[in-house]
A = this chain, B = another copy of it.
Amino acid sequence: MQLEKYTIDQHNEGLSASHKRKLSALTSDIANAEAILERLVAFQVAIPSWALGTGGTRFARFAGGGEPRSLEEKIEDIALLHKLNRSSGAISLHIPWDIPKNGAAIKVLAAQHGIRFDAMNSNTFQDQPGQPLSYKFGSMQHVDKAVRRQAVEHNIEVIEHGMALGSESLTVWLSDGSCFPGQLNFRKAFENTLESLQEVYSALPDAWKMFVEYKAFEPNFYSTTVGDWGQSLLYATKLGPKAYTLVDLGHHLPNANIEQIVALLLMEGKLGGFHFNDSKYGDDDLTVGSIKPYQLFLIFNELVEGMDARGMNHTTDLGWMIDASHNVKDPLEDLLQSVEAIMITYAQALLVDRAALQAAQQNNDVVRAQEALQNAFRTDVRPLVAEARLRAGGALDPLQIFRKENVREHLVKQRGLKTIATGL
C-alpha cells in the first residue's frame, strides 16, 4: 500500500485555509514559534516492529486484518506512518521475531523510506522452538551458568544483526524475577544478571549504547530482577559508560513520580531512552497520552529542562521509542495517535516559559510555578504540530487521510484477513 504524494497534497490543500487561520491565531502569542517548529520537524520516534500487529492479553487475542507478514511489510507499514506524519522515521527491531534474511537489502529498503534502525531488542523471556535450554526460571539471572551463557550469546547475536542494519543500541529487557517468596536468592540473582550483562557489554561496539530496562512486575508476580530505576542505575553504573537506564512509562508501581526519576537519571548522565505508552493499572501498553496526558507533559518538561541543562541534542542523544499493544484499535491508527500525542506534548514542553518557571521556583511561588506549567499545557498546540508535519512533507491530519484512503481495507485485500504479525 503506497500513499501517493498528490493524495497528501490534495488533503493538505483542502485543510489549508483552516490550518493557516488556527496557526496564525496561535503563533501570534508565541515568541519562539519558529524554534519550536524546527525542533518538532527534527524529532523522530521509533516504532517497534511488534506494534504493527494486534496485541493480546493472557486471556485472548482478537486479531485484526491486513497485518504485516514479514519484516519487509513491517517496514512498509512504518514507511506509511512516516509518510503521513514525518515523525516515525525509525524502527526498533525485535530478535528473533524480525531476523532479517538479507540485512543489506533490508537496510536499503528502510533507507528508501527514510527509516533508520533504532535500538535492537533481544528476547530471553520466551523459549524459541529448538532452543536447547529453557528460560522458564529466568535467563541472565539463572542459577545455571549454561542458561546464562545462552542468553548472553543471544544478545551478542542481536548486536550483530543490529550492526548489519546500522543500529547503535541494544535494549535489554529481562523478564527475570520470581513468582514466589523464596524462589530466588535476590543477591545471587543480581550478581548473575550483572555478570551476564557484563559479558554482553564487553561485546558492545564502541559507538553503541546498552539500555537496561526495568519493570516493577509482570510476567513475574513476586519480584523482578531489574525491578526499578534504582536497580537499573546500579547495573548501568557497574557496567560502565556505555550502559544506560531505559524508562518505560508503564513499568512502575502505582503513583510513582516518573518525572522525578527522569530528572535524576538525566542528572546522573544515565538516562538512555524511553518507551512511550500509557496505563492505568500496570503495563497496560495503551496509546500514548490516552490516560494521563499531564503526567506525560511533566515528563517532557523534565526531559527538555534536563537535556538543555546538559547541552544534549533533543533528537539524537536519547532513544525515543513507542512500546504499546493494540488490543482494540487498528495498530496503525493507534500509532498515529501515539506519535501525535508525543509531538503535542513535546511542543507544550518547549512552550514552557522557563524563565518564569525558574523565577517562581527561586521565590517558592508555587502558584506561579503551576501557572507556568499549566499555561503551556492548556495551550492548543495542535496547529504547531500540524505545521511541522506540513513543512516536513507530511499530512495535516494523518488519521483523516488514513481513513479516507481506506488504508486498512487495502492492506487486508493485499495481505489477507487472517495474517498474524510475528510477536506477542
Contacts and interface: CB of A to CB of B under 8 A. Distances in A.
Interface of A: 21-22, 25, 28-29, 55-60, 62, 125-127, 134-137, 143, 175, 178-188, 190-191, 216-219, 221-223, 227-231, 233-234, 253-257, 259-260, 263-264, 266-268, 279-282, 284-287, 289-295, 298, 301-302, 305-306, 309, 327-330, 333-334, 337, 344, 357-358, 360-362, 364, 366-367, 369-374, 377-380, 382, 399, 424
Contacts of A280: 217, 221-222, 255, 257
B230 A378 contact: no
23 contacts: A21-B28, A60-B219, A143-B364, A180-B290, A180-B366, A182-B360, A183-B366, A185-B358, A186-B263, A191-B267, A221-B280, A227-B260, A234-B264, A253-B256, A254-B255, A328-B364, A328-B366, A329-B367, A333-B367, A337-B367, A337-B371, A378-B380, A380-B380
A81 to B, nearest CB: 14
Contacts of A337: 367, 370-371
Contacts of A290: 180-181, 370, 374
Total copies of the chain: 4
Contact of A62 (B134, B329, B370): B134
A127 B60 contact: yes
The 6 tightest CB contacts between A and B, nearest first, are A230-B230, A25-B25, A182-B369, A221-B284, A57-B219, A62-B136
A221 B281 contact: yes
Nearest to A267: B187
Contacts of A127: 60, 62
